[in-house]
Structure 1
Amino acid sequence: MTLHLVRHGRPAMTPGVPAAAWDLDPTAYDDVWALRSSGLLPARAAWFTSPEPKAVQTAQLLSDAEVGVLDDLREHERTGEWVDDFAGAVRRAFEHPDVAALGGWEPLDACRERVVAAVRRVLDVHGSDDVVLVGHGTAWTLVVADLTGEPPDLERWAGLAMPDLLVVDV
Protein backbone atom coordinates (compact mmCIF):
# COMPACT_ATOMS: atom_id res chain seq x y z
CA MET A 1 0.00 0.00 0.00
CA THR A 2 1.15 3.51 -0.75
CA LEU A 3 0.19 6.53 1.30
CA HIS A 4 0.00 9.82 -0.59
CA LEU A 5 0.12 12.86 1.68
CA VAL A 6 -0.93 16.00 -0.16
CA ARG A 7 -0.21 19.39 1.32
CA HIS A 8 -3.05 21.77 0.48
CA GLY A 9 -2.79 24.45 -2.17
CA ARG A 10 -1.87 28.05 -1.43
CA PRO A 11 -4.44 29.67 0.89
CA ALA A 12 -5.93 33.12 0.68
CA MET A 13 -4.37 34.58 3.84
CA THR A 14 -6.89 36.76 5.61
CA PRO A 15 -5.53 39.05 8.35
CA GLY A 16 -7.28 38.53 11.66
CA VAL A 17 -8.66 35.13 10.61
CA PRO A 18 -7.00 31.97 12.00
CA ALA A 19 -5.12 29.97 9.36
CA ALA A 20 -7.40 27.00 10.10
CA ALA A 21 -10.29 28.99 8.58
CA TRP A 22 -8.52 30.18 5.41
CA ASP A 23 -9.93 29.23 2.01
CA LEU A 24 -7.88 28.11 -0.94
CA ASP A 25 -6.68 31.08 -3.00
CA PRO A 26 -8.56 30.94 -6.34
CA THR A 27 -5.36 32.04 -8.10
CA ALA A 28 -3.78 28.78 -6.84
CA TYR A 29 -6.29 26.48 -8.55
CA ASP A 30 -3.97 25.98 -11.54
CA ASP A 31 -1.27 24.61 -9.22
CA VAL A 32 -3.72 22.09 -7.77
CA TRP A 33 -4.97 21.10 -11.21
CA ALA A 34 -1.34 20.62 -12.31
CA LEU A 35 -0.88 18.11 -9.48
CA ARG A 36 -4.13 16.39 -10.47
CA SER A 37 -2.96 15.96 -14.08
CA SER A 38 0.65 15.05 -13.16
CA GLY A 39 0.00 11.32 -12.90
CA LEU A 40 1.56 11.29 -9.42
CA LEU A 41 -1.72 10.49 -7.64
CA PRO A 42 -3.24 7.01 -7.89
CA ALA A 43 -6.20 6.44 -10.20
CA ARG A 44 -7.91 4.40 -7.48
CA ALA A 45 -7.53 5.20 -3.81
CA ALA A 46 -9.37 5.95 -0.60
CA TRP A 47 -9.46 9.75 -0.16
CA PHE A 48 -9.66 11.71 3.09
CA THR A 49 -9.04 15.32 4.03
CA SER A 50 -8.54 17.60 6.96
CA PRO A 51 -11.66 19.65 7.76
CA GLU A 52 -9.85 22.96 7.15
CA PRO A 53 -11.38 24.79 4.15
CA LYS A 54 -8.13 25.06 2.17
CA ALA A 55 -7.61 21.29 2.48
CA VAL A 56 -11.20 20.37 1.63
CA GLN A 57 -11.13 22.66 -1.41
CA THR A 58 -7.79 21.19 -2.54
CA ALA A 59 -9.21 17.66 -2.25
CA GLN A 60 -12.29 18.65 -4.25
CA LEU A 61 -10.09 19.98 -7.06
CA LEU A 62 -7.84 16.90 -7.04
CA SER A 63 -10.44 14.17 -7.25
CA ASP A 64 -13.93 13.37 -8.42
CA ALA A 65 -14.01 10.54 -5.86
CA GLU A 66 -15.84 10.74 -2.58
CA VAL A 67 -13.54 12.38 -0.01
CA GLY A 68 -14.07 11.72 3.67
CA VAL A 69 -13.45 14.54 6.12
CA LEU A 70 -11.55 13.54 9.27
CA ASP A 71 -11.36 16.12 12.03
CA ASP A 72 -8.19 14.62 13.50
CA LEU A 73 -6.24 15.37 10.30
CA ARG A 74 -6.35 19.11 11.02
CA GLU A 75 -3.08 20.98 11.23
CA HIS A 76 -1.02 21.76 14.31
CA GLU A 77 -3.41 24.07 16.17
CA ARG A 78 -2.23 27.67 16.38
CA THR A 79 -3.74 30.99 17.33
CA GLY A 80 -4.79 33.27 14.52
CA GLU A 81 -2.26 35.98 15.34
CA TRP A 82 0.39 36.80 12.76
CA VAL A 83 3.86 35.45 13.67
CA ASP A 84 6.75 37.31 12.04
CA ASP A 85 9.18 34.39 12.41
CA PHE A 86 6.71 31.60 11.71
CA ALA A 87 9.38 29.16 10.49
CA GLY A 88 11.43 29.78 13.63
CA ALA A 89 8.40 29.18 15.85
CA VAL A 90 7.63 25.90 14.09
CA ARG A 91 11.27 24.82 14.40
CA ARG A 92 11.05 25.53 18.16
CA ALA A 93 7.92 23.39 18.26
CA PHE A 94 9.86 20.50 16.71
CA GLU A 95 12.82 21.03 19.08
CA HIS A 96 10.57 21.00 22.17
CA PRO A 97 7.45 19.07 21.14
CA ASP A 98 6.17 18.68 24.69
CA VAL A 99 5.54 22.42 25.16
CA ALA A 100 3.73 25.05 23.15
CA ALA A 101 6.20 27.02 21.02
CA LEU A 102 4.03 30.12 21.45
CA GLY A 103 1.09 31.01 23.66
CA GLY A 104 -2.07 29.46 22.28
CA TRP A 105 -0.24 26.87 20.17
CA GLU A 106 -0.86 23.17 20.61
CA PRO A 107 2.22 21.25 21.80
CA LEU A 108 3.53 19.32 18.81
CA ASP A 109 3.34 16.04 20.78
CA ALA A 110 -0.44 16.51 21.02
CA CYS A 111 -0.67 17.15 17.28
CA ARG A 112 1.44 14.04 16.54
CA GLU A 113 -0.71 11.84 18.78
CA ARG A 114 -3.93 13.05 17.15
CA VAL A 115 -2.82 12.99 13.51
CA VAL A 116 -0.75 9.81 13.58
CA ALA A 117 -3.57 7.92 15.31
CA ALA A 118 -6.02 9.09 12.62
CA VAL A 119 -3.68 8.06 9.81
CA ARG A 120 -3.09 4.64 11.37
CA ARG A 121 -6.86 4.10 11.69
CA VAL A 122 -7.29 4.90 7.98
CA LEU A 123 -4.45 2.55 7.05
CA ASP A 124 -5.90 -0.23 9.21
CA VAL A 125 -9.33 0.08 7.59
CA HIS A 126 -8.03 0.30 4.02
CA GLY A 127 -5.60 -2.62 4.22
CA SER A 128 -3.87 -2.92 0.87
CA ASP A 129 -5.62 0.03 -0.83
CA ASP A 130 -3.72 3.14 -1.79
CA VAL A 131 -4.72 6.09 0.35
CA VAL A 132 -4.62 9.83 -0.38
CA LEU A 133 -4.79 12.23 2.54
CA VAL A 134 -5.06 15.97 1.95
CA GLY A 135 -3.85 18.14 4.78
CA HIS A 136 -0.96 20.11 6.14
CA GLY A 137 2.81 20.39 6.11
CA THR A 138 3.57 20.18 9.81
CA ALA A 139 1.12 17.33 10.37
CA TRP A 140 2.49 15.38 7.38
CA THR A 141 6.07 15.91 8.60
CA LEU A 142 5.08 14.23 11.87
CA VAL A 143 3.30 11.39 10.06
CA VAL A 144 6.25 10.66 7.76
CA ALA A 145 8.62 10.60 10.75
CA ASP A 146 6.37 8.18 12.61
CA LEU A 147 5.83 5.83 9.65
CA THR A 148 9.51 5.74 8.64
CA GLY A 149 11.00 5.73 12.13
CA GLU A 150 13.16 8.71 11.17
CA PRO A 151 13.31 12.09 12.91
CA PRO A 152 11.14 14.85 11.44
CA ASP A 153 12.79 16.28 8.32
CA LEU A 154 12.64 20.01 8.94
CA GLU A 155 14.46 20.84 5.73
CA ARG A 156 11.81 18.94 3.78
CA TRP A 157 9.12 20.73 5.81
CA ALA A 158 10.67 24.11 4.98
CA GLY A 159 10.81 23.20 1.28
CA LEU A 160 7.22 22.02 0.91
CA ALA A 161 5.29 23.78 -1.84
CA MET A 162 1.55 24.46 -1.91
CA PRO A 163 0.37 22.00 -3.05
CA ASP A 164 2.97 19.30 -2.58
CA LEU A 165 3.06 15.53 -2.33
CA LEU A 166 4.85 13.19 0.07
CA VAL A 167 4.70 9.48 -0.72
CA VAL A 168 5.30 6.72 1.84
CA ASP A 169 5.21 3.00 1.16
CA VAL A 170 3.61 1.33 4.19
Structure 2
Amino acid sequence: MITCFKDDRSEKMRATDNYLKTLLSYYEEEIEGEAYFYGLVEHFEEQEKLTVLARVERRAAESVVPLLEKYELVPRDESELKIRGEGYVGRHASFDWFEFMTYMVNRYPGYLEDFTALERMAPEEDLCALNDLTDHEVAAIAFAKRELAGDPDSLAPLYDYLDPRR
Protein backbone atom coordinates (compact mmCIF):
# COMPACT_ATOMS: atom_id res chain seq x y z
CA MET A 1 0.00 0.00 0.00
CA ILE A 2 1.21 3.51 -0.79
CA THR A 3 2.22 5.75 2.11
CA CYS A 4 0.18 8.90 1.85
CA PHE A 5 1.31 11.05 4.74
CA LYS A 6 3.93 13.72 5.05
CA ASP A 7 5.45 14.76 8.34
CA ASP A 8 3.49 16.71 10.96
CA ARG A 9 4.55 20.05 9.48
CA SER A 10 2.31 19.45 6.46
CA GLU A 11 -0.90 20.43 8.30
CA LYS A 12 -1.99 23.30 6.05
CA MET A 13 -5.75 22.98 5.81
CA ARG A 14 -7.77 22.21 8.91
CA ALA A 15 -10.03 19.18 8.77
CA THR A 16 -13.59 20.41 9.28
CA ASP A 17 -16.18 18.63 11.36
CA ASN A 18 -18.17 17.95 8.18
CA TYR A 19 -15.13 16.38 6.54
CA LEU A 20 -14.44 14.16 9.55
CA LYS A 21 -18.08 13.10 9.87
CA THR A 22 -18.25 12.27 6.16
CA LEU A 23 -14.92 10.41 6.22
CA LEU A 24 -16.10 8.22 9.08
CA SER A 25 -19.45 7.61 7.40
CA TYR A 26 -17.82 6.58 4.12
CA TYR A 27 -15.47 4.19 5.90
CA GLU A 28 -18.44 2.56 7.61
CA GLU A 29 -20.32 2.34 4.31
CA GLU A 30 -17.40 0.45 2.75
CA ILE A 31 -17.54 -2.14 5.54
CA GLU A 32 -21.30 -2.37 4.98
CA GLY A 33 -20.62 -2.71 1.24
CA GLU A 34 -18.33 -5.65 1.81
CA ALA A 35 -21.08 -7.46 3.76
CA TYR A 36 -23.62 -6.48 1.09
CA PHE A 37 -21.62 -8.07 -1.73
CA TYR A 38 -20.88 -11.18 0.32
CA GLY A 39 -24.61 -11.37 1.07
CA LEU A 40 -25.45 -11.20 -2.62
CA VAL A 41 -23.29 -14.27 -3.29
CA GLU A 42 -26.26 -16.43 -2.27
CA HIS A 43 -28.52 -14.81 -4.88
CA PHE A 44 -26.39 -14.84 -8.04
CA GLU A 45 -24.41 -17.41 -9.98
CA GLU A 46 -21.57 -14.89 -10.37
CA GLN A 47 -20.16 -15.68 -6.94
CA GLU A 48 -16.51 -15.06 -7.82
CA LYS A 49 -17.33 -11.62 -9.17
CA LEU A 50 -19.30 -10.67 -6.07
CA THR A 51 -16.49 -11.93 -3.86
CA VAL A 52 -14.02 -9.74 -5.74
CA LEU A 53 -16.36 -6.76 -5.35
CA ALA A 54 -16.48 -7.47 -1.60
CA ARG A 55 -12.68 -7.54 -1.49
CA VAL A 56 -12.59 -4.20 -3.30
CA GLU A 57 -14.90 -2.71 -0.65
CA ARG A 58 -12.61 -3.98 2.12
CA ARG A 59 -9.54 -2.58 0.40
CA ALA A 60 -11.27 0.79 0.00
CA ALA A 61 -12.12 0.83 3.70
CA GLU A 62 -8.56 -0.12 4.64
CA SER A 63 -7.20 2.71 2.51
CA VAL A 64 -8.70 5.30 4.85
CA VAL A 65 -7.96 3.58 8.18
CA PRO A 66 -4.78 5.69 8.56
CA LEU A 67 -6.99 8.78 8.31
CA LEU A 68 -9.37 7.46 10.95
CA GLU A 69 -6.37 6.90 13.21
CA LYS A 70 -4.90 10.30 12.40
CA TYR A 71 -8.10 12.07 13.43
CA GLU A 72 -8.93 9.62 16.23
CA LEU A 73 -12.24 8.70 14.61
CA VAL A 74 -13.93 5.63 16.05
CA PRO A 75 -16.27 3.72 13.74
CA ARG A 76 -19.19 1.67 14.92
CA ASP A 77 -18.46 -1.94 15.74
CA GLU A 78 -17.78 -3.93 12.58
CA SER A 79 -20.36 -6.56 13.51
CA GLU A 80 -23.03 -3.85 13.53
CA LEU A 81 -21.86 -2.54 10.17
CA LYS A 82 -21.95 -6.04 8.67
CA ILE A 83 -25.54 -6.51 9.83
CA ARG A 84 -26.46 -3.18 8.24
CA GLY A 85 -24.74 -4.20 4.99
CA GLU A 86 -26.49 -7.55 4.91
CA GLY A 87 -29.76 -5.69 5.36
CA TYR A 88 -29.32 -4.06 1.94
CA VAL A 89 -29.17 -7.41 0.14
CA GLY A 90 -32.96 -7.70 -0.11
CA ARG A 91 -33.14 -4.62 -2.31
CA HIS A 92 -31.35 -6.43 -5.12
CA ALA A 93 -31.74 -10.14 -4.37
CA SER A 94 -34.53 -10.46 -6.94
CA PHE A 95 -32.54 -8.78 -9.73
CA ASP A 96 -31.04 -10.83 -12.49
CA TRP A 97 -27.36 -10.20 -13.17
CA PHE A 98 -28.01 -7.83 -16.08
CA GLU A 99 -30.39 -5.76 -13.93
CA PHE A 100 -27.84 -5.64 -11.13
CA MET A 101 -25.03 -4.52 -13.43
CA THR A 102 -27.34 -1.90 -14.94
CA TYR A 103 -28.14 -0.69 -11.43
CA MET A 104 -24.42 -0.38 -10.67
CA VAL A 105 -23.73 1.55 -13.88
CA ASN A 106 -26.59 3.94 -13.13
CA ARG A 107 -26.20 4.34 -9.35
CA TYR A 108 -22.49 4.13 -8.63
CA PRO A 109 -21.51 7.35 -10.44
CA GLY A 110 -23.41 9.09 -7.63
CA TYR A 111 -21.05 7.49 -5.14
CA LEU A 112 -18.16 8.67 -7.27
CA GLU A 113 -19.48 12.23 -6.98
CA ASP A 114 -19.72 11.79 -3.20
CA PHE A 115 -16.09 10.69 -2.97
CA THR A 116 -14.97 13.56 -5.18
CA ALA A 117 -16.82 15.98 -2.90
CA LEU A 118 -15.03 14.45 0.10
CA GLU A 119 -11.70 15.05 -1.64
CA ARG A 120 -12.61 18.73 -2.11
CA MET A 121 -13.21 19.04 1.66
CA ALA A 122 -9.99 17.28 2.60
CA PRO A 123 -6.66 18.63 3.73
CA GLU A 124 -4.13 18.12 0.94
CA GLU A 125 -2.15 15.53 2.88
CA ASP A 126 -5.22 13.25 3.00
CA LEU A 127 -5.75 13.16 -0.75
CA CYS A 128 -3.61 10.11 -1.49
CA ALA A 129 -5.73 7.87 0.75
CA LEU A 130 -8.93 9.47 -0.50
CA ASN A 131 -7.89 8.97 -4.12
CA ASP A 132 -7.60 5.27 -3.35
CA LEU A 133 -11.14 5.36 -1.96
CA THR A 134 -12.41 7.13 -5.09
CA ASP A 135 -10.52 4.75 -7.38
CA HIS A 136 -12.41 1.75 -6.04
CA GLU A 137 -15.66 3.23 -7.32
CA VAL A 138 -14.10 3.89 -10.73
CA ALA A 139 -13.05 0.22 -10.83
CA ALA A 140 -16.51 -1.02 -9.83
CA ILE A 141 -18.20 1.07 -12.52
CA ALA A 142 -15.71 -0.08 -15.16
CA PHE A 143 -16.34 -3.69 -14.13
CA ALA A 144 -20.13 -3.31 -14.43
CA LYS A 145 -19.83 -1.66 -17.84
CA ARG A 146 -17.60 -4.49 -19.04
CA GLU A 147 -20.07 -7.03 -17.70
CA LEU A 148 -22.90 -5.40 -19.63
CA ALA A 149 -20.75 -5.42 -22.76
CA GLY A 150 -20.05 -9.13 -22.34
CA ASP A 151 -16.32 -8.60 -21.83
CA PRO A 152 -14.77 -11.89 -20.66
CA ASP A 153 -12.08 -9.85 -18.85
CA SER A 154 -14.59 -7.75 -16.91
CA LEU A 155 -12.83 -8.36 -13.59
CA ALA A 156 -9.63 -6.66 -14.80
CA PRO A 157 -10.43 -3.22 -13.31
CA LEU A 158 -11.18 -4.81 -9.94
CA TYR A 159 -8.02 -6.91 -9.95
CA ASP A 160 -6.03 -3.86 -11.02
CA TYR A 161 -7.44 -1.97 -8.03
CA LEU A 162 -6.57 -4.84 -5.68
CA ASP A 163 -3.01 -5.14 -7.03
CA PRO A 164 -0.70 -4.15 -4.15
CA ARG A 165 1.84 -2.73 -6.62
CA ARG A 166 -0.48 0.00 -7.82
Report the structure, 1 or 2, having the larger helix content. Answer: 2
Greater relative contact order (CA < 8 Å, ≥ 6 in sequence): 1
- TM-score category (smaller protein): 0.3 to 0.5
- TM-score norm. by structure 1 comes to 0.34
Q: More strand per residue: 1 or 2?
A: 1
**TM-score of the superposed pair, with normalisation by structure 2:** 0.35
